[in-house]
């Protein structure tokens, strides 16, 4: 029996630093333990911010891989003798009940976003107290924006009834079960803080505004969503850092017999035609015959190369949010928006 409390406590092991109350001859200084006073300066505050950002980047990759597999954008190919229990992605692809439930319920999938939420909780007080005034507001905007983004991910990807756990004053605080609407409200409030602080950095503003527009769209506040998206220009974008997209890359160099994560095409009979639609936004590459059926061909996409960054918010997404808002308002202007986007990459206009 999996103990959910123990799993949730494990999220905080690497984040909470405990101070000993003992003093005496046996007291020693641990050179591997960073004390609070070493972080109480601009450099320490920036280190905490960068740690939260790296945590966010890494966990976005983890979530994206799982979502790609469970939504059949990705498929897992392996020889018939392969032990599927050796790979989380393989089990997600096969919908193996235990691993599927563990990955997409509070027992497993809750871990990565919770780590980011708690990492931002640890970083925000240091940035607020010690970052130079010239960068303080934008750094706070970034931290609140990535926190809000992750909370939105939880609302979008998890079934209702999960908690938002956090750290307050170095103590773990366990939340109760929440509805999707409640989680969207938390994300919205968090992003309001990001919008309050954002000052000069366009990419931080783009992340905050586009994510806020997504929340408003999901709340059915279409006019507000369009107005927020309208604040985002065409050029700025927010991408992952620290080569976080490395694990999202699909290498076409694999030969027959390899264990492959490949691009899905009508996976399961009712999946989307990621290959056969010949969508120019998804460049497909022929790789190798399928291990279990040599008459079938496997495909890859080079959307993300090793070390490439993932775009998490952009002017393109803002325009699509505006188009969706127009569509919900029964306004044909959505066609004009989409046609304009298609024209920028040389596609024909939408047939309506």
- Which pLDDT tens digit goes with each residue over 199-235? 989 999 999 999 999 999 999 999 999 999 999 998 8
Mean residue pLDDT of the chain comes to 81
Mean of pLDDT values over 120-144:
96
Distance CA 284, CA 276 (A): 10
Give the per-residue pLDDT at 84: 66
Structural fold of domain 4-71+80-200: 1.25.40
Backbone angles phi, psi at 308, to 5 degrees: -75, 155
Mean of pLDDT values over 63-75:
83
Q: Would you list the domain boundaries of the chain?
A: 4-71+80-200, 250-301, 311-344
Q: What percent of the chain has pLDDT over 70?
A: 74
Distance CA 228, CA 301 (A): 32
Distance CA 174, CA 11 (A): 11
Give the per-residue pLDDT at 21: 46
Does an H or E element contain 55, and which? helix 42-70
Mean of pLDDT values over 300-312:
77
Task: Select the highest-mean-pLDDT range: 186-195, 240-249, 291-300.
Answer: 186-195
The string of DSSP codes covering 155-178 is HHHS-SSB---EEETTEEE----B
Mean of pLDDT values over 312-326:
95
Distance CA 211, CA 214 (A): 5
Residue 289: strand pairing partners: 297
C-alpha separations of 293 from 27, 77, 98 in Å: 65, 10, 28
CA 49 to chain centre: 17
Least confidently predicted of 145-154, 227-236, 259-268: 259-268
Q: What percent of the chain has pLDDT over 90?
A: 43
Mean of pLDDT values over 57-68:
84
Better-predicted residue by pLDDT, 82 or 145: 145
């Amino acid at each position: 029996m999996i103990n959910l409390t123990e799993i949730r406590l494990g999220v905080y092991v690497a984040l909470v630093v405990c101070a000993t109350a003992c003093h005496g001859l046996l007291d020693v200084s641990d050179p591997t333990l960073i004390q609070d006073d070493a972080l109480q300066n601009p450099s320490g505050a920036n280190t905490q911010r960068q740690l939260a950002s790296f945590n966010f980047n890494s966990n976005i990759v983890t979530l994206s891989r799982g979502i790609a597999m469970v939504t059949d954008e990705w498929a897992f190919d392996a020889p018939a003798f392969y032990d599927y229990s050796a790979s989380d992605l393989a089990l997600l692809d096969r919908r193996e009940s235990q691993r599927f439930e563990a990955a997409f319920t509070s027992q497993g999938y809750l871990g990565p976003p919770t780590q980011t939420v708690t990492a931002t909780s640890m970083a925000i007080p240091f940035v607020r107290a010690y970052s130079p005034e010239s960068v303080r507001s934008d750094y706070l905007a970034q931290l609140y924006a990535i926190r809000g983004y992750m909370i939105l991910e939880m609302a979008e990807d998890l079934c209702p009834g999960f908690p938002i756990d956090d750290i307050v004053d170095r103590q773990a605080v366990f939340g109760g079960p929440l509805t999707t609407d409640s989680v969207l409200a938390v994300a919205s409030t968090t992003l309001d803080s990001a919008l309050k602080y954002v000052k000069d950095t366009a990419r931080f503003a783009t992340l905050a505004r586009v994510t806020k527009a997504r929340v408003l769209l999901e709340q059915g506040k279409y006019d507000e969503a369009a107005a927020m998206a309208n604040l985002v220009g065409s050029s700025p974008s927010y991408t992952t850092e620290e080569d976080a997209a490395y694990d999202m890359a699909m290498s076409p160099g694999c030969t027959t017999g390899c264990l492959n994560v490949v691009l899905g095409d009508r996976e399961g009979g009712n999946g989307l035609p990621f290959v056969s639609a010949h969508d120019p936004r998804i460049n497909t590459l022929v790789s190798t015959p399928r291990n279990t059926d040599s008459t079938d061909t496997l495909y890859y996409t080079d959307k993300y190369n090793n070390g490439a960054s993932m775009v998490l918010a952009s002017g393109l997404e803002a325009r699509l949010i505006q188009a969706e808002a127009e569509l919900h308002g029964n306004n044909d202007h959505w066609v004009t928006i989409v046609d304009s986007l298609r024209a920028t990459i040389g596609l024909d206009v939408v047939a309506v």
